[in-house]
Amino acid sequence: MTLVLGIETSCDETAAAVVRLDAHGAAILSDVVLSQIEEHAAFGGVVPEIAARAHVEAVDGVVRAALNEAGVTLDEIDAIAATAGPGLIGGLIVGVMTAKAIAAATGKPFLAINHLEGHALTARLTDGLDFPYLLLLVSGGHTQIVVVSGVGRYERWGTTIDDALGEAFDKTAKLLSLPYPGGPSVERAAASGDARRFAFPRPLRGETRLDFSFSGLKTAVRQQANALAPLSEQDVADICASFQTAVTETLAERVGRSLDRFRDAHPDVAAPALVVAGGVAANKAIRATLDALCAARGFRLVAPPLRLCTDNAAMIAWAALERMRAGLVDGETASAAPRPRWPLDSLAEPLIGSGKRGAKA
Ligand code: KG4
Ligand code: ZN
């Protein structure tokens, strides 16, 4: 039996969790997430300095709560894992230093985990999925299509060249004076809007690459809003509905081609699966589109419970357990310093803009 304490502080959630792996499988013994949403709401987005300070104040209590909830002491823990990147450097430093301090004080090993690896492997914790599978990660910081072939074996097929999809939702909401976080606000407003009223752009449509771009769409939304100002409630609803349709269609086109490409690359996989992760996966229009795409192509859509799709520490502890089980605890994992940029697929070309914008692009 192996018990791992995980710590996640890469963005605006301070989280800690204890996950156990034994002969019967994996179990999440505790999963504590303290969100900072209220502290950032007034600014319409995550403010790095506020986030870092909030992590410092919260992390001890959150770790204690995770241990208490799991009913274990530090003595019983086998390893301490923390997100070491990618993310906001202030928060990463807090999580890594906390984990390293606990490791040093208890004499247990420390593991530096890539946040994206946490998202990538979650479906194995929740659904026991076998490799390989396709992952669509759509959050406030990331928009990626990744083939997950094994622990430490990731191939990025697509990413955003500017804003993340959740970020596009958040910026659209801010522009329309809707409350933060923007995704749920835009979705709510879109429900009573006319999606055909505005023809917003579908960036990179028709290109063979599987990348995304959302900043042009944001500009189009701003220009439309300025042209109509002052906006009626119906104008806001129509803009939201038209925006949501534009991003859903863009996603459908790119994901559809990814599913076909996955089939071609892995003809031997009898029951191919698409895993969706990240906060944007909560969007019902997007979820329905993914459902339809998968159904039409014979893929299984795996959507872990939202709590484990969004940022949490159980996925960090789980990634550590996967690495330990696979014998992949190398020097880098054992000692890595916090790093704001840490691509999951080290062979993928960094794209212009990626890593320079967004909470943790
Ligand atoms: O995964 P997450 O909780 O945090 C990280 O970004 O890591 O994702 C948060 C993002 C925010 O940008 C939020 O606006 C977006 O997910 N989001 C949504 C919805 N709910 C959350 N976007 C669209 N529709 C939603 N219902
Ligand atoms: Zn995340």
pLDDT of residue 80: 97
Q: Mind listing the pLDDT tens digit for each residue in 164-189?
A: 999 999 999 999 999 988 999 999 99
Q: Above 50 in pLDDT, residue 358?
A: no
Q: What's the mean pLDDT in 32-40?
A: 91
Q: Above 90 in pLDDT, residue 10?
A: yes
Terminal Cα distance for the chain, rounded: 36
Q: Pseudo-torsion of CA 99, 138, 180, 98, nearest 10°?
A: 0
- Overall size of the chain counted in residues: 361
Q: How far is CA 68 from the centre of its chain?
A: 27
Q: Mind listing the pLDDT tens digit for each residue in 203-252?
A: 888 889 999 999 999 999 999 999 999 999 999 999 999 999 999 999 99
Q: Above 90 in pLDDT, residue 56?
A: yes
The residue whose CA is least distant from atom 8 of ligand 1 is 279
280, 307, 312, best to mutate for ligand 1 pocket (most atoms within 8 Å of CB): 280
Q: What's the mean pLDDT in 340-345?
A: 90
pLDDT of residue 332: 67
pLDDT of residue 356: 40
Q: What is the pTM of this model?
A: 0.93
Residue 343: left if φ>0, alpha if ψ -120 to 50, beta else—which one? beta
DSSP state at residue 90? H
What gap in Å lies between CA 356 and CA 353, rounded to an integer?
Answer: 5
What gap in Å lies between CA 169 and CA 181, rounded to an integer?
Answer: 8
What gap in Å lies between CA 174 and CA 166, rounded to an integer?
Answer: 12
Residue of 14, 111, 92, 65 whose CA lies nearest to 313: 14
Pocket residues: Cβ below 6 A from ligand 1 = 11, 139-141, 166-167, 169-170, 181-184, 187, 278-280, 282-283, 310-311
Q: Give the contacts of 188 (CB within 8 A, at least 6 positions apart).
A: none
Compute φ and ψ for 104, nearest 5 degrees: -65, -40
Q: What is the DSSP string of 308-325?
A: HHSS-SHHHHHHHHHHHH
Q: What's the mean pLDDT in 62-75?
A: 98
- What mean pLDDT, rounded, does the chain reach? 93
pLDDT of residue 88: 95
pLDDT of residue 359: 41
Q: Mind listing the pLDDT tens digit for each residue in 109-165?
A: 999 999 999 999 999 999 999 999 999 999 999 999 999 999 999 999 999 999 999
Q: Give the contacts of 16 (CB within 8 A, at least 6 positions apart).
A: 5, 6, 7, 8, 30, 32, 59, 62, 63, 65, 66, 67, 313
| Ligand 1 midpoint to CA 173 (Å) | 12
| Ligand 1 midpoint to CA 286 (Å) | 12
10, 34, 169, 175, best to mutate for ligand 1 pocket (most atoms within 8 Å of CB): 169
Compute φ and ψ for 344, nearest 5 degrees: -70, -40
| Ligand 1 midpoint to CA 350 (Å) | 24
Q: Above 90 in pLDDT, residue 78?
A: yes
Q: Is residue 68 helix, strand or coil? A: helix
Percentage of residues in the chain having pLDDT higher than 70: 96
What gap in Å lies between CA 153 and CA 353, rounded to an integer?
Answer: 24
Q: Pseudo-torsion of CA 133, 328, 278, 352, nearest 10°?
A: -90
Q: Mind listing the pLDDT tens digit for each residue in 11-21?
A: 999 999 999 99
Q: Above 90 in pLDDT, residue 319?
A: yes
Q: Where are the alpha helices (DSSP H) in the chain?
A: 37-41, 48-70, 89-106, 115-127, 165-175, 182-190, 215-228, 233-265, 284-297, 306-309, 314-325, 331-335
pLDDT of residue 355: 42
